Each structure stands twice: as C-alpha cells, then as structure tokens.
Structure 1
Amino acid sequence: MTRLQNAADFYSRPEGVPEGSVVSAFRVPPEAAGARLDLFVQSQLRRTSRTRTQQIIKLSAYDETGRRLWPNDRVRAHQTILLWRPPWDEAEVPVDLPILYEDDHLLAIDKPPMLPVHPTARYYKNTLIKLLQSARPKEFVTLAHRLDRETSGIILVAKTRECDRAVKRLFEERDEVDKSYLAITWGVPSPDAPAGATPQAVPGAFRCELPLELDLENRYKVKMRIGRTDDAQSAATGFEVLGVRERARRTYALVRCDLETGRQHQIRVHLQSYGTPIVGDKLYGPDESYFALAADGELTDEHRVQLELPRHALHAARIALPHPITGADLAIESPLPADLAEFWESLARA
C-alpha cells in the first residue's frame, strides 16, 4: 500500500471539492483486487468503523480521473483511491506547545494529550509537526520519535539534519537512551499476582520481558498482543509502583514504566498482561470496541463513566541521553500533567 499524505500536489481537485481540501491517496495492492471499496478503505484507515468508513467514502472518495466512488464499488489492482477532505473537517487540538529544552540543534516539547504528532487520515493541519512548521517557517524541524495521540509528555525535535541523523541513531541503538513514563492503572501490577487479582502488598521494582507482535486476527489492525509466534519481537519494560489508592472498592496504582525496548503500545500491553490496564485505555481496557466508537465520536456517557478519563493515563515523564551533537549528558523531565494529577488527587480525596 502506498499512501501520499500531501497527494494534492499530484492529483487535480475534482469538481465540487472545496479549494484547500486535503487529500489522502491509497494504492490498491494486487492481493486486494476485487474487494469492496469500503472494506479496502477500512483496512487502510484502521481506526475507523465500517459505518464511518462508508460515510467517508460517500462524501469524499474519487479515482485518479475524478470519478466518484461508492462503498460497494470493487477495487482494481494498482488503482489509486483518493479521499478528499474539506479543510475544516478536523477536530480541535491543543495548540500550546511548552518548550522544555532548546539549543541550536535540539528542541524538547511537552506534548499535550490529544495532539497527534504526524498527519493521519483524520488530522492534517492540526498535528504537532504542522504546528511547529507553522510557528517556525524558516527552520528545519523533524520529529526524532513518536508518541500516541492520547499520550502526553516529552517529545524530541531535531533542528538540524546532522542532529536528526544522530538522534535517530541513538534511538535505534537504545543503549544510551533512558525513557520513563508514568501511568495510572486499574489495579496494582505485580509479577506475583494472577491476571486480574489485586496483590496484598505493593511490589518493588520488577521487569516484564514478554515479547510482542501485531494481532493480525484483531479487526482494528493496530492492536498488539503478547507474542505467540516465532516472529514476535523481544520487549522489556521495568515497572515500579509509586503509590496505591482506592475508590468505591476499586484499586488504582501510579506506576513508573522504564522502556528498555521501544515496541508499539509496549507499556499498555505489558500492563494489560498483569490484568491492570491503564485507566482510560480504549483499546486495551474494558472493551476494545470503545476504540472505534471514540474515533467516530460515538462514545456514550455510560462508556465515559467506565473509562473514567477521556484519554489513557500515560505520560512520557523523563528522557536521558547524550546530546546528539555535543555528547554531553542531557536529562529532560516533564511533571504529571494537570488532568492526570487531578485524577490521582481525586482518588486521595475519595
């Protein structure tokens, strides 16, 4: 599959599509030939329900010639599917980007929750990289790594090509990079407790070394699971429970999570493996269907009560590494953000 996020530079805007619209292009691989268009597009958007996908197609789908496409059309090998989105069709996002550190080569941003870092099918202008490029139009800025949209905290930005190459090399090797997160969980994770059980004592520091792999059987195509095949990738996370609180017969923990590897959703899956998922997690929490419902704006009040928070309670709190250019020791920290701090304090009051 080939996708061009800035495909407007390559394709003419069909008649009736508003000026300034954003277009995403999807190339149909030979193995998908003959599939219904709605099923193919859903496989590419991943986080979208089939109903929502059909609505998107009816409003925005065209082929390379500008011909309208419909959900029950059949796709052809190597065909390009274009989704033209009006420029106003984006949810509002936080635009304040606090700076934690900056020099001539490197910038550290304290990313707010609910801000995507890169353009996606749902967000084009309202992303961290687009906001940075708009605020610094004459500067070179590129992200050194990623955070999930709902995850808050430290993200590094390279300001020179030399720094970009060097910092990405550091992240690939990982030996000299220490990354710590804070998470609030339902239940207290413990290596000695059966899944779903609440341990009688708060454990000390411990490690999870369960391998991870993409769950190819899952309908959302982005969900990870504990490895079952030889293709699973090794993964290791260090945990330490910093505090335990209770409310309405439910136990919560504030957990420090030290990444030793950098797999997709690693912390979230490892915590789920103890039966203690992160509060507010729509994919690994009480019901994975909340993931698509949230993406389509269809969560009910009952769902929100179960989730307790509008986003998952995960925060990138600290990163330590040698400066990519000077080699000097560099440690950057971000305190627990207001929404998570207030939630944790509310448990103490309860």
Structure 2
Amino acid sequence: MTRLQNAAEFYARPPGVPEGSVVSAFRVPPEAAGARLDLFIQSQLRRTSRTRTQKIIKLSAYDESGRRLWPNDRVRADQTILLWRPPWDETEVPRDLPILHEDEHLLAIDKPAMLPVHPTARYYKNTLIKLLQAARPKEFLTLAHRIDRETSGVILIAKTRACDVTVKRLFEERDQVNKSYLAITWGVPSELSPFRCELPLELDPDSIYKVKMRIGQTADALTAATGFEVVGTRRRPTGEPYALVRCALETGRQHQIRVHLQTYGTPIVGDKLYGPDESYFALHADGELTDEHRARLELPRHALHAARIELPHPITGDPLAIEAPLPADMAEFWESLESG
C-alpha cells in the first residue's frame, strides 16, 4: 500500500472530493483478480472489519479515472484502487517518555503502552520517533528496534550513525542481546517452571487479519524460541487463575511471546488477537468494542511489558543493562487479584 500526502501530484481529485483529502493507492496483484472489492481492501487495511471496510469504500473508493467504486465490484489485475479520505485526526497518545539511560550515542526510553514507535497508516505524528524528533529537532535519532504499540517498556534509540549501525547489527545477530518481558496471563502454564517453547511461527493464512501468526505448519515456518518462568500466581475470588510470567526472547519473530503463550492455553490478558476472540482486533481498531467486550478483555491493552535489555554498549563495548519498572496499569491489575 502507498499513502500519498500530495495527491494532486499523482492523481486528479474526483469531483465532490474535498480539497486536502488524503489518498491511499492500492495496486491489485494478479492473484487477487476477480475478488470482491471489499474483501480485497480489507486484506490491505488488515486491522479493519468487513463492515467498516464496506463503509469506507462507499464513502471514498474510486478508480484512476475518478469513477466511483462499490463494495461488490470485482477487482482486476494491476488495477489501482484509490481511497480518498479527509485528513485523519490522529488518536491522542501518551506523551510522557521517561528516560532510562542516555549517553552521547544511545538513548533508552520507557515507552508507555498505546504509543506506536514509528509512523503507520493510522498514526503519523503521534509516534515515539516523531515525538522525540519534535522535542530534539537538531539531533540524529533512529529506532534501534521495535515493540508493539500496546506493549510497554524498554526501547533503544541510536543518537549517532555509528551507534545505529552497530546496535542494529547486535539485534540482528542476537547472541549478545538479552531481552526479557513480563506478561500477565489468563491461566497458569502447566509446565514446570522454568520451561522453554521452541515452536516455529508463520503468518496464519486462515485469519482475515494479515498480521496474525500461528504455530508453523509448513516448511517455510520461521524458527522461534522463548524461555518462560512463572514468577507468581493469583486468582479471582471466583477462582479464575492468572500468572505473572517472565519471558526471555531467544528469537525475535512477530508476536512470538503472545503466540507461544497462547499455545499453552494461557493467552495474555487483554490480547485482542490471540485472546478470547480474534474479531476483537478489528472491533478495537474501528472503535466498536462494547462494554461487554472490554469486560471480557479486562485490560484496554495486552499485558506485556519489555522489562529489561542487556547488551554490550554499541560504541564502548561495556556491559549495559537497562530496566523498566512494571507499569501502573499492569501492577494495579496484578495487585487487584488474590494471592494463591
């Protein structure tokens, strides 16, 4: 998908489309030819329900000639679908960025939950890197790695080009970088603690959400390994058990911890994709979660926190360990449960 800010430079704005609208262009690959437009666009937007996709198409879909398109239209190979939409008002995000470590080469931030780390289709200005660049306009700043928007905790930012090159190499090689997370799960893993999960991961072809992963079932699945340790257990007065689990990443696959914990029947509290119902993922993205949905999720975000990173300093080589305390929302939820 390509999102264009200066649409007039590429496509003529159709009659009736307000000036200043933002256009998203989608090229139809040959393998999608013949599909309904709503199904094709949903596959591109990824986080949006089919109902919401149909509303978007009815309000904004055109072809390159300016002809209106409708949800039940069939797409053609190499056709360009244009969505002309008003400039979006970005969702407000947490802006407090506690510094955990800083020197002339490296910055470590305790990223709050619900703050994206880099621009996406839904967030442009309200991201960690954009907020830092606005606060430090004369500094070189680039992300050393990424964590999910809902995940809180330690994230590293390079302040020099030399640091950027070295720290990214360290993360790619992984043998000198140790990343530890804390998760609160529904249920307690039955394995003796500590234990290790070494199951490969791949995109889930059966899910309508093109970011969802599953345990690998094909030869192309990627190796993945996570170490787990149950550090505490609690329960509701009605008996439902929960666990606080330390998770050590040995590889860095997409959604690795979340999928591995789901495999043991203990998904992370608040997880909309791997928790009680994957449809919550799109409902949340579209702002359509009900009170009943939110009560079932228990937390507004998945309870996963990047607690600690250990690595040699990218420039000096000295051992460096950076920790972020358990955030208030996870700590308060844990304390609300009964010991046992």
TM-score of the pair, normalised by structure 1: 0.89
Give the distance between the partners of 1:60 and 1:214, measured in 2 at CA. Answer: 30
How many aligned residue pairs are there?
A: 337
Q: Is the 8 A contact 1:5 1:119 kept in 2?
A: no
**Structure 1 residue 83 displacement after superposition:** 2.9
**Does residue 75 of the first structure (1) align with residue 75 of the second (2)?**
yes
**Structure 1 residue 140 displacement after superposition:** 2.5
Give the distance between the partners of 2:78 and 2:3, measured in 1 at CA. Answer: 18
**Structure 1 residue 98 displacement after superposition:** 1.8
Alignment of 1:103-114 (within 5 A): 103-114=103-114
Q: C-alpha offsets along residues 245-281 of structure 1, whole Å, 9 cap, x if unaligned?
A: 1112111111100000001111011111111111111
Give the distance between the partners of 1:21 and 1:168, measured in 2 at CA. Answer: 37
Amino acid at match of 1:312: H
**Does residue 288 of the first structure (1) align with residue 287 of the second (2)?**
no
**Structure 1 residue 65 displacement after superposition:** 5.0
Give the distance between the partners of 1:18 and 1:66, measured in 2 at CA. Answer: 14
2:294 counterpart residue number: 304
Alignment of 1:212-231 (within 5 A): 212-231=201-220
1:87 counterpart residue number: 87
CA 1:348–1:311: 2 relative to 1, 3 Å = same
**Structure 1 residue 86 displacement after superposition:** 2.8
Q: Is the 8 A contact 1:180 1:256 kept in 2?
A: yes
**Does residue 8 of the first structure (1) align with residue 6 of the second (2)?**
yes
The RMSD of aligned alpha carbons is 2.2
Q: Is the 8 A contact 2:235 2:339 kept in 1?
A: no
Q: Is the 8 A contact 2:181 2:307 kept in 1?
A: yes
**Does residue 268 of the first structure (1) align with residue 246 of the second (2)?**
no
CA 1:159–1:56: 2 relative to 1, 3 Å = farther
CA 1:67–1:103: 2 relative to 1, 3 Å = farther
CA 1:67–1:163: 2 relative to 1, 3 Å = farther
Greater mean alpha carbon deviation, residues 85-94 or residues 177-186: 85-94
CA 1:294–1:320: 2 relative to 1, 3 Å = same
2:235 counterpart residue number: 246
Give the distance between the partners of 2:80 and 2:116, measured in 1 at CA. Answer: 26
Give the distance between the partners of 2:108 and 2:304, measured in 1 at CA. Answer: 18
CA 1:328–1:66: 2 relative to 1, 3 Å = farther
**Structure 1 residue 17 displacement after superposition:** 4.8
CA 1:170–1:100: 2 relative to 1, 3 Å = same
TM-score of the pair, normalised by structure 2: 0.91
Give the distance between the partners of 1:287 and 1:279, measured in 2 at CA. Answer: 12
In structure 2, stretches of 5+ residues that fail to align are none
Alignment of 1:132-143 (within 5 A): 132-143=132-143
1:51 counterpart residue number: 51
In structure 1, stretches of 5+ residues that fail to align are 192-202
Amino acid at match of 1:345: E
**Structure 1 residue 21 displacement after superposition:** 4.5
**Does residue 336 of the first structure (1) align with residue 326 of the second (2)?**
yes
CA 1:19–1:330: 2 relative to 1, 3 Å = farther
Q: C-alpha offsets along residues 64-106 of structure 1, whole Å, 9 cap, x if unaligned?
A: 4555433233333333333344334322221222222222222
Q: C-alpha offsets along residues 293-344 of structure 1, whole Å, 9 cap, x if unaligned?
A: 1111111111111111111100001011112222221111100101001001
Give the distance between the partners of 2:123 and 2:137, measured in 1 at CA. Answer: 20
Give the distance between the partners of 2:22 and 2:156, measured in 1 at CA. Answer: 27
Q: Is the 8 A contact 2:234 2:339 kept in 1?
A: no
CA 1:181–1:21: 2 relative to 1, 3 Å = farther
Q: Give 3-state SS (helix, strand or coil) of 1:70's partner.
A: coil
1:40 counterpart residue number: 40
Amino acid at match of 1:137: P
CA 1:182–1:59: 2 relative to 1, 3 Å = same
Q: C-alpha offsets along residues 196-236 of structure 1, whole Å, 9 cap, x if unaligned?
A: xxxxxxx4311111111111111212211111121111111
1:129 counterpart residue number: 129
Q: Is the 8 A contact 1:22 1:124 kept in 2?
A: no
CA 1:19–1:319: 2 relative to 1, 3 Å = farther
1:185 counterpart residue number: 185
Give the distance between the partners of 2:135 and 2:18, measured in 1 at CA. Answer: 26
Q: Give 3-state SS (helix, strand or coil) of 2:260's partner.
A: helix
Residue number among 297, 308, 311 corresponding to 1:318 in the alignment: 308
